[in-house]
Amino acid sequence: MERDNRMDDKLDELRDSPAPEEGQDPAGGRAKRDGSASRDLYLNVRVLVGMMAVFVLLFTFVARVIVVSGPSMESTLWERDLIFVWALGYQPKQGDIVVLTQEHYQEDSIIKRVIATGGQRVDIDYNTGTVYVDGQALQEDYINEPMRLPGWGEGVNHVEVPEGCIFVMGDNRNHSADSRHPDIGIVDTRCVIGRGLAVLFPFNHWQGL
Amino acid sequence: MKNSVSRRTTWLISVGAAALAAALVRRWQLASAFEPDTGLATPGAQASVILVCLLVMAGAWLILLAMGRGGPDPARRWDMVFVTRGDPVFPVLTVASAALAALAVPVLFVVGVDQFQLYQMAREAGVQPPSNNGMLTLATAAGALLAALGLLQMGRDGLSPGRRGKGGFSAALPGVAGCVWLMESFRAHAANPVQWDYAPQLIAIVAGMGFYMDFAGMSAGAPRPRRLLWMAGMTVILSAAPLATVLAELSARLAVGGSLLAAETGDALLLLSQLLAAAGVLWRLPPYLEHSARPSPEEASIEEEITDE
């Protein structure tokens, strides 16, 4: 009871004093000395929490780093390569390497090269291993080996790409499930997460894409 | 006093109305702004545009409210906010928030163990394992436990004001736990090309982290009461939209006979938890933001002196 009364007196005393400004410890100098370790700890934790928030928001809206899984882009990208992907405001262009998701095929994202964009026509000749876009044969120095007929048959090989869509293929043509595969097909550009810009790791694979 | 009451009412009504509107517009967006067959977002959908405008306008309005100062009332100051007795609302809301975070622990733990077992089975069977090995979900469960303990301590501090600091450094615990939850939420949707599916939840978690860290700052010599108030308001509003999403997902899951032991349940509990904690601060803090006098050098700390005794 006596303690309650003393506390009430202290509260009255504190009420009578002027209010501190924002950002200033109302406890004054003494508490600042005693609490400096706690304040430093708090400020460090706040910086770490803030950095985590900024990193995740950057990864969500601006750019991200992903790890390549699977052989479909060999010999441009290899299993476990770490690549930098730009997402903000990206619109797919022919020749770009893109990360995309076709959820009806698999939940994880896949990485492929854009062969044709909306309005272009794609024709694939498996006899010569040539890809034609709008009647022009593509010079594909990046493919791993000459293209053969895939195991699932001809699939999608003569098609006009609708507006807002892209036709993608892996650089390792004979080990890639891509737009030729009936379950993937033409890809809506809204399924594209971003464009691969560079291989970051391992360092001996470092290159711009 | 009248002015103080009206300030609290203004905050509660503003935030409550904006949160309700955000939840309703989000439900409308879920019903109208996505293609039914692919789930892809319709560009320029009316509901999406209105939701963004609503959130921006609510943020701007709360900035104006937080900046505004009423008539001076020396008996009610922001530095007194956590030493005042006789207000059960704040501790009750905070303890309820702790209970919700604690409830999320077993849910997330079971989900994480299931994910881990699935991953192990795939590895043992020699097939491509799923990208999620469950570890981050288990870490989120541990984080939820940490958050519950921190929130419980905040509630205790609220019940025994003056015993400790001005708000409790324990509030930093749910802020730190939010980091793990944020990473898990991003990981769960990293391959999802539809940002509208998950970005609202990420932003709500970030707002909650900021709110908890500002709350902890009140007792760590770095008080920012007006920013804390704004962060608390935005935490409530921003949590309402993803809460509408996860509740819709849970309803759909229940409709097909699915289990409630799902990641969405954990998200719903944690979102509700941070919403209640922020509501507690919105209840307690606004009446104390009336006075703007300069500090005196002789100022003493009531908490320090009481602790010394």
Give chain B's domain count. Answer: 1
Question: Is the pLDDT reported for residue B87 higher than 70?
Answer: yes
Residue B297 lies in a domain: no
Which residues, in sequence order, are CB contacts of B210 under 8 Å at separation 6+? Answer: A50, A53, B175, B231, B235
Cα–Cα distance, A60 to B200 (Å, whole number):
11
Q: Which residues of A touch B77 (CB under 8 A)?
A: 15, 19
Half-sphere CA count of A16, side-chain side, radius 13 A: 7
Residue among A46, A72, A99, A189 with most chain B CBs within 10 A, to mutate:
A46
Write down the pLDDT at residue A5.
58
Reported ipTM: 0.85
Query: Between residues 87 and 116 of chain B, which touch chain A (CB distance below 8 Å)?
Result: none
Cα–Cα distance, B158 to B152 (Å, whole number):
10
- Label residues B272-290 b or e (16+ Cβ within 10 Å = b): bbbbbbbbbbbbbbbbbbb
Cα–Cα distance, B269 to B143 (Å, whole number):
13
Torsion angle of the four alpha carbons B132, B136, B138, B140, in this order, in degrees rounded to the nearest 10: -140
Q: Each residue of A187-209: pLDDT tens digit? A: 999 999 999 999 999 999 899 98
- Label residues B82-94 b or e (16+ Cβ within 10 Å = b): bbbeebeebbbbb
**Which residue has 């622990």 as its token pair?**
B105
Confirm or reject contact between A162 and chain B (CB < 8 A): no
User: Could you give phi then psi for residue B90, rounded to 5 degrees?
Assistant: -60, -50
From A109, A112, A176, A179, active-site residue: A112
CB B85 within 8 A of CB A7: no
Q: How many angstroms separate the CA of residue A120 from the nearest CA in chain B? A: 23
Q: How many angstroms separate the CA of residue A183 from the nearest CA in chain B? A: 14
Q: Where are the domains of chain A?
A: 2-61, 64-208
Q: Sheet of A158-160: strands edge to edge?
A: A136-137, A130-133, A121-125, A158-160
Smallest Cα–Cα separation from B263: which of B112, B145, B131? B112
Residue B36, both tokens: 């039914």
Cα–Cα distance, B83 to B130 (Å, whole number):
51
Question: Does the annotation mark A72 as catalytic?
Answer: yes
Cα–Cα distance, B117 to B222 (Å, whole number):
45
Share of chain B above pLDDT 90, in %: 64
Bridge pairing between strands A165-169 and A110-117:
antiparallel
Angle (nearest 5°) at CA B182 between B196 and B244: 45
In one-letter notation, the amino acid at residue A182 is P
Which residues, in sequence order, are CB contacts of B160 under 8 Å at separation 6+? Answer: none
Residue B308 lies in a domain: no
Question: Is the pLDDT reported for residue B191 higher than 60?
Answer: yes
Whole-Å CA distances, B176 to A52, B171, B182, B268: 10, 9, 10, 19
Q: Do B309 and A26 touch (CB under 8 A)?
A: no
* Residue in A closest to B67 by C-alpha: A22
CB B278 within 8 A of CB B208: yes
Cα–Cα distance, B150 to B154 (Å, whole number):
6
Query: What residues does A82 pair with on adjacent strands?
Result: A67, A201
CB B219 within 8 A of CB B161: no
Cα–Cα distance, B80 to B62 (Å, whole number):
22
Residue B282 lies in a domain: yes
Q: Which residues of A touch B302 (CB under 8 A)?
A: 7, 10-11, 13-14
Which residues, in sequence order, are CB contacts of B127 under 8 Å at separation 6+? Answer: none
Q: How many angstroms separate the CA of residue A47 from the nearest CA in chain B? A: 10
Question: Is the pLDDT reported for residue A23 higher than 60?
Answer: no
Residue B240 lies in a domain: yes
* Residue in B closest to A193 by C-alpha: B193
Pairwise pLDDT comparison (B69 vs A71), residue with the higher score:
A71
- Residues B132-137: contacts with CB within 8 Å, 24+ apart? B132/B187, B132/B188, B136/B112, B136/B180, B136/B183, B136/B184, B136/B187, B137/B108, B137/B111, B137/B112, B137/B184, B137/B263
Say what the pTM is.
0.86
From A38, A69, A72, A75, active-site residue: A72
A37-57: average pLDDT: 92
Q: How many angstroms separate the CA of residue B216 from the nearest CA in chain A? A: 8
Question: Does the annotation mark A36 as catalytic?
Answer: no
Q: Each residue of B91-136: pLDDT tens digit? A: 899 999 999 999 999 999 999 999 999 999 999 998 878 888 999 9
Q: Each residue of B233-284: pLDDT tens digit? A: 999 999 999 999 999 999 999 999 888 889 999 999 999 999 999 999 898 8
Question: Is the pLDDT reported for residue B295 higher than 50?
Answer: no
Confidence of residue B155 (pLDDT cuts 50, 70, 90): confident
Question: Is the pLDDT reported for residue A30 higher than 50?
Answer: no
SS (H, E, C) chain A: CHHHHHHHHHHHHHHHCCCCCCCCCCCHHHHHHHCHHHHHHHHHHHHHHHHHHHHHHHHHHCEEEEECCCCCCCCCCCCCCEEEEECCCCCCCCCCEEEECCCCCCCCCEEEEEEEECCCEEEEECCCCEEEECCEECCCCCCCCCCCCCCCCCCCCEEECCCCEEEEECCCHHHCCCCCCCCCCCEEHHHEEEEEEEEEECHHHCEEC
Residue B154, both tokens: 């905040």
Q: Which domain holds residue B39?
A: 2-291
Q: How many angstroms separate the CA of residue B192 from the nearest CA in chain A? A: 7
Residue among B214, B302, B304, B305 with most chain A CBs within 10 A, to mutate:
B302
Q: Match domain A64-208 to its CATH number in 3.90.1070.10, 2.10.109.10, 3.40.50.300, 3.40.1280.10.
A: 2.10.109.10
Query: Between residues 181 and 210 of chain B, which touch chain A (CB distance below 8 Å)?
Result: 182-183, 186, 190-195, 198-199, 202-203, 206, 209-210
Q: Do B182 and A52 touch (CB under 8 A)?
A: yes
Q: Which residues of A touch B297 (CB under 8 A)?
A: 28-29
Q: Each residue of A33-43: pLDDT tens digit? A: 445 777 888 89
Q: Do B186 and A20 touch (CB under 8 A)?
A: no
Cα–Cα distance, B8 to B89 (Å, whole number):
13
Bridge pairing between strands A130-133 and A97-100:
unpaired
Residue B307 lies in a domain: no
